Structure 1
Amino acid sequence: MLKSFIKLFSGGLLLGCCLLPWNATADKTSIIPGNGLSAFSSNQAERLLVQSLLEINEGRLREALSIIDQLVKAVPNFRLAHMVRGDLLMAFAQQRTRIGQDNTAALTDFEDEARVRIERHLDSQHEGKLPDVLWRMAPDQRYAIVIETSKSRLYVYENRNNQPHYLVDYYITMGKNGSEKFVEGDKRTPIGVYTASKKLDRKLPDFYGEASYPLNYPNALDQKQGRKGHGIWLHGTPQNVYSRPPKASDGCVVLANADLRSLGPILQQGATPVIISNTLQWISVEEARKKQKSLDASLEQWRHDWETQNTEQYLAHYSKDFFSDSGNLENWSRNKRRIQAAKSKVQINLSNLSMFRYPNATKPMVQVTFDQDYRSNVLANRMKKQQYWIWENQRWQIIYEGSA
C-alpha cells in the first residue's frame, strides 16, 4: 500500500517533497482528543495536521484520514488540511490525478506550508535556549516578538526578572518576494529591530483579518541605508482563509486570526519589540549574558566619560561612520565640544536598558535603548534614547544615537 501511495504522489505534496527523507515517525501522544475540538487553538490545528502527515509517511492512511477529518471539522477554512484530505480520498479511490495538478504554483504553496510546519515540529534546537538576537529585555518590556522568516515562524517571549522566557510560537506568512525590503512595492518583508504600535482603529477590508498592528518601518537605520516603503503591519487573514502560504503578502507579517487574537493583549500595550531575522542562532542564557557583558562595560564607560566631561574620551566611543538627526560625526563632535567647554558639573543615570542584536548586519551590531536622566546646574532632562553600537576595530562603538 505504501509503495503504491508513493508512486501515486511521486513528486507531490505528501511524500515526494518533504516527508520520506526525514524518516519521521508519528507521535501518538500528540493526537488531540475529539472532545477537545470546541476550544481549538492554532497550535492544536497544526499538531493535528503534522500528525496526519506523519501517519501518511508511515503508510497509515486511514489513521491519517481520521485525524484530518477532525481538523477540517474544527477549522473548515484550513485550505492545506482540505488539500491533504482530498489527496487521501483520491488515494483510497486509486485515482492517478492530484488536486492542484493544473495549478503548479498553488501546489507549490501548499508544499511549502506543509514543509515549514513539519520542520518546526521536528526541530527541538531552540528548547531551553534563546534566539541570539535577544540579549537583554528592559523591565518595562513585558514581551518581545522574534520572527524567523526562513522558517515562517514567530516566537513570543515574556520578560521574567529581565530574562526572556519562551511562551509560544506561530506560523506566519511573509512577503511574496522574500525578505530584505528595500524599495516601495518590492513585496518584501523588512529585516531589523522594530516596535509594534497599538491596533489601527479604522475599519479595514476583510483582507487584513481581524486586526492590524503597524511596525515602525523604516527605522533610523533603514532610512540611513536608503530603504523605502511604508505600511508594514502585523495583520490577520480574510475570514474564509485560515492561513496563507509562507510567501504571499505584500511585505507584511500575516498570522491566522486566532493567533493574532491571542497576541492582542500583548500588542495592544504598544511599543512591543518585534525583531525580524532571516535565520536565528540559538544560544544558552549564559552565552547571552556573556555577549552583553562587554557591551555593558562599553556603555558604562561612555556614560562615565560623558559625566566626567572627558570630551575626547567620550567622542572616541563614536564610529567614524556615526550619524544622527543632527548630522555626522563632525557635526556631533563640534556641538559636544562647544557644550562641554563650559565644564558644567553633570550627573547622568541610565535605566530601563534593553539590548537586541541587529539581525543580518554586515558587522555585529546591537540596538540599545534606555531611559536617560541628565542633570546639570542649568538643565534637567529625562528622555528615552536609542543607540546602535557596532563592533569594529576590536571594540564597541556608537554608529547612531537619537531619541527612541
Structure 2
Amino acid sequence: MKKTAVKLSLISSLISPALMAQEKIPSNLLRIGDGSYYSEYAVVVDKDKRLTSVWQNANGKLQKVKEYVNDLGKASGDKKVEGDNKTPEGIYFFQSVLQGNQIPYEKYGVKALTTNYPNLFDEREGKTGYGIWLHAIPDTESLVRGSEGCVVVRNKDIEEISKLVKLDDSFFVVDDSLTYVSEDELVKKRSEIEDFLKTWRRAWSEKNIDVYMAAYSDSFYSSKRNKKQWRAHKSRLNKYYKNIFVEFSDPVFVEVDDQIKVKMLQHYKSDVMDDYGEKTLYLEREETGLKIIAETFKRADRKKAAEIISIGSLLRDQNISSMTDKLEKIGATE
C-alpha cells in the first residue's frame, strides 16, 4: 500500500491540468497495459524534437505524465552498425538498472536503464551494436554534447522515469518523428490489429490451416522453422489433436515504421493438454497487409494468467464466444 501511495503521489505531482486536457497522443501507442498484467506506462522518444515523454493508460485513456528534454547520438539517422554513434529507432524494453559504482558518474549520471537493442526486427535487418541505454548526465554537462547512441536525460528525470517503468514490460519506443492522433483515430488503428488477431485466433481454433497460414509472411522464421516448415508442423498438430481451443487476453501492441510488436496472455487447450503463457508476435506491414514474421511463447504464472483471462478476453467477440460454446459441446474443454 505504501509503494502504491508513493507512486500515485508522484503521478499526481507530475501531471499538469494542461497535459490532462491534451487530446492528441502518439500513434505508436496502439494499446498499452492497464496494470493488471502488463505495465500501464510507456516511454516514447521523439528524435526530431529531442523530447522523451512518459505515457500512462489511465482507465482506458492514454495521458501524458511528463515530458523531458533529451540528448541523442552524435550522428543523425537510425542506427545500422556498431560504432556509428546513431540512436536506434524501434520498439524496445528496459532490461536492467545500473547505478552507483556500477557506472561512471561523469558519463552516465546517477542511473542508467539498459535496453534490448538490437531487438528481433533489428537483427533481421542485420543491424549491429550494443549498449544502447536511457541514462542520465551530470547537471554540469550539456544536453547537446551527443552520445554514442544512447538517449540521455537529466539526473532528476531518470529518477522520475525509473519509478514508473517496469523492467522487461514497459515499452520504450524510439521514433524519428512522432505523429500525434486523436483517440478516435487511435481506436481505428487499434481495431485493425485486433481484427487481424481475431481472424488468426479463430482459424487456429478451427484448424483452418489455409486461413491460419495466410497471416504469416513468406519471410517468417521461428523455432528453427521457416513458413513451409511451420505449416507442416501445425498440420501435424491439427491431425494429432481432436480439438483445439485458443483464447487471448490483455493484448498490448505498439508500432514503429510498419513494425508491430504484440504481447498477450494465451490459453491453449486441446484434448491432451491445457497450457497458459505469454504469446509474442512480431508483425510487419506488407503489400498484402499485416503479416507475422516471428512469434514466441513462454509459460506464465498459471494461476495469475487464468484469473486475468477468466475476467474476459478482449479478443472474444460474439463469433468467438459461439466457437467456445461449440468446442465445449464436443468436449474440447473440461
Instruction: Give the TM-score range, shorter chain.
Output: 0.7 to 0.9
Residues 217-228 of structure 1 mapped to structure 2, 5 A cutoff: 217-228=117-128
Shift of 1:145: 0.7
Structure 2 matches for 1:303-318, cutoff 5 A?
303-318=201-216
TM-superposed CA distance for 1:338, in Å, is: 1.7
Which structure shows the bigger proportion of residues in strand conformation?
2
State the match for 1:128 in structure 2.
Answer: 23
| 1:305 Cα deviation from its structure 2 partner | 0.5
Please say which structure displays the higher CA radius of gyration.
Answer: 1
What per-residue deviation string (whole Å, max 9, x for no partner) do you get for residues 37-76 of structure 1?
xxxxxx9xxxxxxxxxxxxxxxxxxxxxxxxxxxxxxxxx
Whether contact under 8 Å (1:197, 1:267) holds in the other structure is: no
Task: Please point out which of 348, 353, 378 is paired with 2:272.
Answer: 378
Q: Does 1:173 align with 2:71?
A: yes
Inter-partner Cα distance in structure 1 for 2:255 and 2:156: 30
Residue number in structure 2 paired with 1:282: 180
SS of the equivalent of 1:320 reads coil
Q: Counterpart in 1 of 2:97?
A: 199
- Structure 1 residues 270, 394: closer, same or farther in 2, change over 3 A? closer
Q: Which has the higher contact order (CA 8 A, sep 6+)?
A: 2
Letter in 1 for 2:113: Y
Q: TM-score, normalised by structure 1?
A: 0.64
Question: How far apart, CA to CA, are the structure 2 residues paired with 1:333 and 1:341?
Answer: 12
Q: Hey, what's the Cα distance between the residues in 2 that align with 1:192 and 1:173?
A: 17
Question: 1:1-400 counterparts in 2 under 5 A?
Answer: 127-139=22-34, 140-200=38-98, 203-206=102-105, 207-238=107-138, 240-241=140-141, 243-245=142-144, 248-267=146-165, 270-358=168-256, 361=257, 364-400=258-294
Aligned residue identity for 1:301: T
Q: What value does the CA root-mean-square deviation take over the aligned residues?
A: 2.1
Kindly state the Cα deviation for residue 237 of structure 1 after the two structures are TM-superposed: 0.7
How many angstroms does 1:270 deviate by? 4.9
Provide the secondary structure at the position in 2 that maps to 1:178. Answer: coil
Whether the 8 Å contact between 2:94 and 2:116 is mirrored in structure 1 is yes
Partner-residue secondary structure (3-state), 2:102:
coil
Matched-pair contact (CA < 8 Å) for 1:199–1:268: no
Which digits, 9 at most, give the CA deviation of each residue in 1:120-155, with x for residues without a partner? xxxx9x942011101111232220011011111101
Give the AA of the match of 2:227. Answer: L
Query: What is the distance in 2 between the residues matched to 1:130 and 1:168?
Result: 13
State the distance in 2 between where 1:138 and 1:378 align. 32
Structure 1 position 192, deviation (Å): 0.2
Q: How many angstroms does 1:268 deviate by? A: 5.3
Aligned to 1:40: none
Q: State how far apart, in whole Å, the 2-side matches of 1:348 and 1:262 are.
A: 39
Q: Which has the higher helix share?
A: 1
Identity of aligned residues (%): 29
Q: Which residue of 1 aligns with 2:8?
A: none
Whether the 8 Å CA contact 1:357–1:366 is kept in 2: the answer is yes
Q: CA deviation at 1:346?
A: 1.8
Deviations 1:93-146 (A, max 9, x none): xxxxxxxxxxxxxxxxxxxxxxxxxxxxxxx9x942011101111232220011
> In 2 relative to 1, CA 287–310 (structure 1 residues): closer, same or farther, beyond 3 Å?
same
Shift of 1:239: 5.3
Amino acid at match of 1:219: N
